[in-house]
Each structure stands twice: as structure tokens, then as C-alpha cells.
Structure 1
Amino acid sequence: MTEHELLAQPEADYMNDAQQGFFRELLRGQRLELQERISGEFDQLREQETSSDPADIGSAEETRQWQLRVLEREKKLLDKIDESLERLARGEYGWCRETGEPIGLKRLLLRPTATLCIEAKEREELRERHERAL
């Protein structure tokens, strides 16, 4: 199934078997790409050479810290993908964890790991902004 075919389906077919299969394959593909990227980043970290020049050491350490932050972000995304695959297996994928309403195919295509519908996400962001302002 293509994205166009997915979006052309009637609303009554929301999260039917074909749609769940589409998102399962999408998430599995993203998971595989992410695992390969993480593996490559780890390889780069292992291959870094040490230098005796203090400026080179500082630059290398800054690069290493940046790579570690990227790896941490990618690990969090990997966890979200795994959670989404688990939600698919339980039949909960595509439904807002706060309201129980459909998240929507367009939103899921843009962010396959979404767990909140747009309205619930906006409320969450508003609460977060309010808490930061305090």
C-alpha cells in the first residue's frame, strides 16, 4: 500500500489490518535504518585516534560529546519506535493515549511514533510552557 492509497481509504477503515500493516512496515524500516546509523556512530567513536596536541584533544572531545548526544537522541527514538510496534501488537496504535480519539493518518505519516492527537499534544505543550514559566 502506498501513502496515497492509505490516505484515499474511507475514515471508517481507520486502523484496519491494511493500515496497521502499512505502519508496521514503515516503523520496522525506520527501526532498521536507525539501528544501522547507531552502529555506524559507535564505530566512528571507537575509531577516533588520540592526539598529543591539546587543541586536537579538545576538538576531538567536543566532537565525541556531540556524537554521544546524537546517539542518545537516536536511542530515545529507537525506544519510541519499539513502543509504537508494541502498541500495534496490542491494537492501540493510531489512537490517542489521552482521549482515545484517532490520531489521524496524516499525523502518523509525519510522526509514526505519535501517541497523542493534535489537540492533546497542543494541551501538553501548553502545560509544559506554563510549567517552564513558573
Structure 2
Amino acid sequence: MSKTLTKEALLAASEDDYMNDEQLEFFKELLNDLKQQTMAHIEEMKASLSQPPEINDEVDRAQYEEESRLSLRILDRERKLLPKIDKSLRRIKDKSFGYCLETGEPIGIPRLLIRPVSEYCADVKMVNEGREQHYYSQRK
């Protein structure tokens, strides 16, 4: 993490300082750390799944298979996160990071600290999710 900027300082910063070079550097380091952690976790899970234990009991086998299915879902989500991290890092480079892709408004430091790959402000995200739910409910 950045030596000069903490999460607390980031949250306390004035709106005029939004996405200045120091803040962009903070998020660049945060995203690079997240990418490394995600890649390490993916490799760890792959190794674990590639060496299944020998299980003779049917109940234990069923539990292992359910845990493996869950692990595969997590693995898939993390695999999909990597391109989002790369996209966010490119947005940092071109200084568009932290701004809503749809409205151009600031996404906000609190939201970016929770989900640094956010591309939309909370209002736009809620509208988009509402549209998705409506679309899927109409298809049923």
C-alpha cells in the first residue's frame, strides 16, 4: 500500500482532491495487491481441486463433491475478476478511474474502497440491476 496515503486520509480528503495522482497511486497499489492475492488464491484452489482425497464413505464423498462445486463457482468468479482488475488499472493510467462510465460522475471513495473495480456510481448500478431483475422476471 501507499506509504503516504491511508484509507482514513483518503476518506477525509476534500472533493476537490478527488482522483488526484496520490489517490490514483493508492488505488493502483490496492488493485495490484488484489490481483496478486486473487491469482495466488486461484492457483491454490486449482492445486487443491486437482488432488482429490480418496473417500470411501458415500456421505463424505457427497460432501466433498458439494464443496468442490462451491470451490469451482468461487474459482470462476475470481477468474472473471482478473480482467476487471486489469481494466481498472488501464482506467487509472488514462485517469478515468473513479468516474462512472455512464454519467461521468464520481463513483466515490467509499464505494471504490469496498469494490475497487466499480465502473458505475451507486445510482446507475441500482438502475441497471433493477433492469436486469425486470428482464429476468419477464423471461420466466
How far does residue 59 in structure 1 lie from its aligned partner after superposition?
4.1
In structure 2, the partner of 1:64 is: 68
In structure 2, the partner of 1:117 is: 121
Q: What are structure 2's unaligned runs of at least 5 residues?
A: none
Distance 1:4 1:26 in 2: 14
How far does residue 84 in structure 1 lie from its aligned partner after superposition?
1.0
1:22 lines up with 2:26 in the alignment? yes
Q: 1:54 to 1:4 in 2, by over 3 A?
A: closer
Instruction: Write the letter of the residue equivalent to 1:101.
Output: E
Instruction: Write the letter of the residue equivalent to 1:36.
Output: A
1:132 lines up with 2:98 in the alignment? no
Map of 1:1-134 to 2, 5 A cutoff? 1-51=5-55, 57-134=61-138
Distance 1:59 1:107 in 2: 36
Q: 1:56 to 1:3 in 2, by over 3 A?
A: closer
Calculate percent identity across the aligned residue pairs.
Answer: 42
Deviates more, 1:41-50 or 1:67-76: 41-50
Instruction: Write the letter of the residue equivalent to 1:109.
Output: L
TM-score normalised according to structure 2 size: 0.85
Q: What are structure 1's unaligned runs of at least 5 residues?
A: none
How far does residue 58 in structure 1 lie from its aligned partner after superposition?
4.3
TM-score normalised according to structure 1 size: 0.89
Instruction: Write the letter of the residue equivalent to 1:44.
Output: S
Distance 2:117 2:14 in 1: 22
Q: Number of aligned pairs?
A: 134
Distance 2:47 2:131 in 1: 40
Distance 2:86 2:55 in 1: 39
